[in-house]
Structure 1
Amino acid sequence: MKRLLIVDDEPFIVNGMYEFMLLGSGLELDVYKAFSGDEALEWLQRTKMDIVISDIRMPSMSGLQLLEVIRKRWPYCKVILLTGYNEFDYVYQAIKHDGVRYLLKTEGYDKILELVRVAIAEIDEARKSEDLIATANRQMKMALPILQKDLFTGILRGERHTTEQRNYLFRQLALLLDAESEVFLIIGRLENTNRAESTIRVKMAFERYIGNEYKSVFLTMEDNLLVWFVQPMKNVRVEGAQEDRLEIKGSEIGQVIVPQLKGMLELVLEMCEATFGFTVHFIIDGQSASWEQVADRFAILRAGSGSLPAIGGGGSIVEYPYPKPNTSIAIENETLDLAMRQMKRMDLLANFLESGRREEFLELLKELLYSAEIAIDRKMVHAALGIYYPLSLLLLSHIHTWQMEQRFNEVNGFVPQVIRDPSTSVNQAAEAFRHIAPLLFEWRQNAQNSHAHTAISHVQDYLLANLDKDLSLVRLAEVSRLNPSYLSRLFKQVTGVNLNVFIQEARLNKAMELLRDSDYKVYEIARLAGYEYAPYFTKIFKKNVGVSPQEYRDHLNKSQ
């Protein structure tokens, strides 16, 4: 909704144009009025205006002086200046500014409406103009490294995307990696060196020796960790494979790719040590991983990267081994590893919960609970509780923040007790978390709806108690502490009625009540109902009620 300010020192002109723009233009406008340049300045200091219609000749501050203020404060505001015929030559020279038009007062509302429509079209067009698009594209290009890092950092934390979403994101961020193919992870760890300078150099060496054969994305992490996501430039095949087996995955592709990558990493390592004089350690995943597996693989590699010592002052290259020995110790270690990796995803789960991303939250929760149940099946209750306790703390904190304690306590059965202390019934904990999770989103939505209704109820109470005062959208936004456009949308969403229509009906109802129950004169009732200009009130009243205010009062008196 565009905001339109009408400025003139003649009330009948302002009120007539206000009525026309608000009720007769057919445009969805938020219309304001000012009876002097100084009053217009007050509005311009309180809120942004999209269009200003102003008389040129006004006492105290002329329309041209007001124009200069508008140009400085709201440079994208469109201005329509109104004046008499004999000022044309003077005005023509004075208003050679972009976004400013001149109109004779004698040309009428239809011509003014035409210029307002043109102004609205220009505003809309400017928002999608070639210059803005070019600027946005340049800014997007500059921001690509940051956006790419955010995306891949999220993937390492366990954030999931559908294949369609991933394809879209990769295209938008100009990534060469294939969103549907598996990927190799390589982790590097710098040792006792200037991190910023060494990171640039090791990245340069990596691109020199590996960039011709492989596509990659590079990230820097905390603790001097470097991470590469790597894919071959083209499909890889095993020697002697059939033509229909060009696409190979997992450990089979690892047999082809990993030895080559290790050989290339040796060249990178030698360049860093011999040319640049610093040590770096690499750990490479022994098989490719799907994008859904990347977070778990990264957690394992990261844990292993901390145990890579320098031997003889040099770096190292280690391949994460496959498969693991099938022993009870290996199974126990694998279970603990799985539980630890899931615990590290609690931050991501909390982010999904706080941002209201229900489906992602429930999907990740499902994975966490599955890992806990595996631990319980393997008689490793401590590993399961390592997931349940942080999860309990997260949900209870959310319940407290959103003041859901009463609803939580009213949940039947064992659920509240187990959520508070999962150790009281470890075998029922997963069921309790599955039961409560969707309820949190339902309760939160209800709370948000309640907050919205409370806010709108407060606005309604205010305007009904202040019908004779300023009830502009800007003023109501100040009262509700919401921005004007959001308040307008929220009011319509909650009540089903446009805010301006609600105010108009409330003022007319107030006027009818005063006409019926008081001895005030019509012009006094107009002011008490919020109409500053009595003729305007009479016109609006007759248009909506069918008779003039005096005729309405006379009819009531006759019927008594």
Structure 2
Amino acid sequence: MAISMKLPFTANKVKGLLFRSAYRHIKEGLKLFRVMIADDEHVIKNGLKNFIDWDELDCQIVSEASNGLEALEELKTKKIDIVITDIKMPGLNGIELSEAVSKHYPKTKVILLTGFADFSFAQSAIQYGVIDFIIKTNPLDKIQEAIRKAKSFIIQQREADSKIRQLEEVMTNTIPEIKRSFLQDVLHRSIHPADVETKAQSLGINLKHYFILAFDIKTKADTDSYNPDKEEHLITSVIHFLNQSFKDYSPILLIPSNETVILLVSFEEDDYSLHIRDVNRICNELIEISESFMNTVVSVGVSNMHTSLLELHIAYQEAKQALSEQFYTGLQISMIESVTSIVSAKGNDNISIEKVISYIEANYSNDIDLQTLANHVHLNSSYLSRLFKKETGETITEAITRYRIQQAKLLLQNSETKAYVVGMMVGIGDSAYFSNVFKKYTGLSPKDYRAKFR
């Protein structure tokens, strides 16, 4: 059985009540200045409250106090813009209250109410930034004038604070953009090599050791049709994750695009094995989260560790090449076919092998011999030679040569540098020997290999 009720007011009346209620809340919010009245005389307080048009002044009385101590307690818990206070009050007088406000709440403005007899005494409050002294027998418009004066000071302070915040925000947002733009220019070799170091120092960029990470981000094939907004949201989510996860590595986003993100991560200590494990962990977390919660497949390519900004374009090519050589969907921490993938991080011997690999990657363009490497890891040269072969499946000489050829391949692909100069750049000064070794590893001469990429 349906039950009907006759309400004592109509729907339109309800709407009117709700509108007026909402309007009152909005109007209260528009009152930009919060006022406290401190006076031990109730007549004075009530007069100020009821005979001044606070709405017209854009003010709201948010607090009352009967003495200076009460006023201070109110200031501790409420945001007060203007304090209107009598000079003579029990406990803490108006002068003492002005001093406390000046010290602890410097943005709060004080207006003093005074009688004829204590006006000269009130002059000492000038040092505490009191806005005005109003004789109680003066008309109310004198108080209103003082309130407008206080408002003017507050507005000026707010505008100054706003400009400072805007400047700080601009600096916060601009400096990373300037750094990113500079690194992009270095990446694309738009800056003369001789100028790179000077400009880097002026921007506070000091990359002692760094990796380049390339991320390929794609939604799974069985998802709905392409949605650009969804794709943009995915990229934004991935970038946020990377910035948070790599925050200890001073991450710099170099290239964000529809499907590929290029990230630079840097670090101070030359502990290759520690950092690559950390990179591996973070990337695996990203892959798992992306697949589980975003229905997205993320693949990753990581460059070798580099120590010079002039090698940034090489690191970039390494990361892209590693990304293209995906052996399986998901993470591809391929260090350009580096034997690092073969070496597990267990025991001092394996740490020594990782240090050898790091040394080779950082110094491949120089002469490297077995004894130099043995000294670097504090091992007997014969023992190191046997250990390296056992752990990696290749000799140290083979590892050095293979890595040099990999770097030569990148240089031939991405520059017009003559082949014999490329050989010198990767530590093989004999051009004939370089050509023979290159062909042995690639099946092509340096000239023919370059032609494949033209």
Task: Identify whether the pair has TM-score above 0.5, normalized to the shorter chain.
Answer: no
TM-score, normalization by structure 2: 0.39
Larger Cα Rg: Structure 1 or Structure 2?
A: 2
When normalised by structure 1's length, the TM-score is: 0.32
Whichever structure has more helix as a proportion of its residues is 1
